[in-house]
Amino acid sequence: MNIRTSGDRASGLTALAASALTACLSVHADPLVVKTADGPVRGKLINDGKVRAWQGIPYAAPPVGDLRWRPPQPAARWAELRDATHYGRHCAQNHIFEDMVFQDSASAADSGSEDCLNLNVYAPDSRKGEARLPVMVWIHGGGYTGGANSEPRHNGDFLPLKGVVLVTLNYRLGVFGFLALPELAREQGGSSGNYGLMDMVAALRWVRMNIAAFGGDPQAVTIFGESAGSFAVSTLMAAPSASGLFERAIGESGGALAVTGPLTMEELPVAGPKNAAWASSIGATTLADLRALPTERLLAAAGKERTVRFSPVVDGRFLPEAIPAVYKAGRQAQVPLLGGWNHDEGSSFAKDMTAAKWSAMAQQRLGDKAAAFLALYPGSTDAAAALSAADFGGDQFIAYGTWKWLETDRGTGNRNVYRYEFDLAAPPSKFHPGSFAFHSDDIEYVFGTLATRPEALWRAEDFKLSDQIMSYWTNFARTGDPNGADGTGGKLPQWPVYGQGDPVLHLDNPISVRSDEHRGRYEFWLLMDH
């Protein structure tokens, strides 16, 4: 018989404790293992070991089954170490934008999954215990119908090297993210829709709770996005549930303040019946019917629709009132704001335009305002008409709404607004054969991922401007002021606050500052916007 003494027991417990401590220390000694509030994750090194990456981390429960068209719910917790070295699935979507490719899929035809509420975290590979770094949370574009956090052009290989922690997220898209119905409103206390925007807020709450474990400062969060992502940034500044979840904002080509234009918000009582009629047209007369439909069936039905667009609505709860009214009253988030747009946002609108067509269009669309319009967008020759058509297209598509956002925000007291125009025409590439500063052209410059357009013959000025933009953006994330060091031992060209004289920083070769040259155009649309 083996008799264990109390000394033997104590010795055994000591050995067990030592073993557990060793295991604990070994985990914490591994800079690729991070314990989140939901469970531990293991990441990987990228960019030759310069950046740590954690990919595909769930920030909410899969919005499937009965959770389809409901606000995001908490993710299930896990105890075992979770592999976070691969992208999570991109959100279900039709293939609309040819320049969007996803690294979570081997097939360009893959429509994605509804189980897609995941995010990626990227941090510089620093193991010296420095102070927590500012955090930048990227919201991708795609008209609220496409895009994902796995697009190569916003990889996290380079931006973190400027001294930030980068987060890129997925959110529900199209019919899955923005279906608003009277029956959903009855189920959800009077409001429906905006689930994709709610996903963004859930991701920001995850960041607030978890980002310190990755080396980020939860009290220094900048949200930034392009196109629909920029619309989302302007919207989150007005959404009560997002209040206090970010300290700075950057908008690239898009603002949700224009009364007419892309992604214009309707009131729920207007949008709801339209969506209900669409649901009936595909044979779904109840929520149970809709929730029972396969993902691909809903995508196919939404893809055929030409009159209903699934996008944010003024629902009375997530968005209690119209975005312009929130800003006009000064109730938006009072945070430093940096924003602008690209020189050739409307380059596609100039195709086949002639002086005769331009004059006829002005008379038909604007009537007694045609003369004022043509003074701002002249078209006495075919060449002038083509140029004005491009300017008009860009203004209506992106520039005016973004201008109104910045203008209204500074008009209600924000003294930390910075405005830019991205002017450098990129060399031709696969999806953009001309040389333009086209819509979305800025993304690769912001992330330092020019190489993801390998067919473009990049020049020294492209790489220089990309580095300067990354420095401006990360300086802003750090202090609320884009000015300062350029990362190479020098200083960036001075970027004045958007104040007296309407100074605009032109991102070009070289960078310059000029007063707003087109204010008259935007003021014309401001009058028409009422």
Phi and psi at 421, nearest 5°, equal: -135, 130
Q: What pLDDT shows up at residue 127?
A: 59
Q: What pLDDT shows up at residue 128?
A: 56
Domains and CATH numbers, the chain: 30-335 (3.40.50.1820)
Q: Which residue's structure tokens are 């704001």?
A: 337
Distance CA 243, CA 271 (A): 26
User: Cis bond leading into 510, ω under 30°?
Assistant: yes
Q: What pLDDT shows up at residue 130?
A: 65
CA 276, 280, 282, 287: dihedral to nearest 10 degrees?
Answer: 70
Q: What pLDDT shows up at residue 307?
A: 66
Beta strands in 374-519 (DSSP E): 417-422, 503-507, 512-515
Q: What pLDDT shows up at residue 390?
A: 95
Q: What pLDDT shows up at residue 234?
A: 98
Tokens of 316: 């009375």
Tokens of 484: 């300062």
Among candidate residues 252, 246, 241, the one with its CA nearest the CA of residue 222:
246
Query: How confident is the model over 292-316, as pLDDT tens digits?
Result: 999 999 999 999 877 678 999 999 9
User: Which residues, given as ranges, of the chain have pLDDT below 70?
Assistant: 1-28, 127-130, 307
Active-site amino acid positions = 227, 345, 439
Q: What pLDDT shows up at residue 264?
A: 84
Q: What pLDDT shows up at residue 226?
A: 98
Q: What pLDDT shows up at residue 8?
A: 44
Per-residue b or e along 167-193, where b marks 16 or more CB atoms closer than 10 Å to that residue's CB = bbbbbbbbbbbbbbbebbbeebeebbb
Residues near 512 by beta carbon (within 8 Å), at least 6 away in sequence = 493, 505, 506
Cβ distance 444 to 467 under 8 Å?
Answer: no
SS3 at position 176: helix
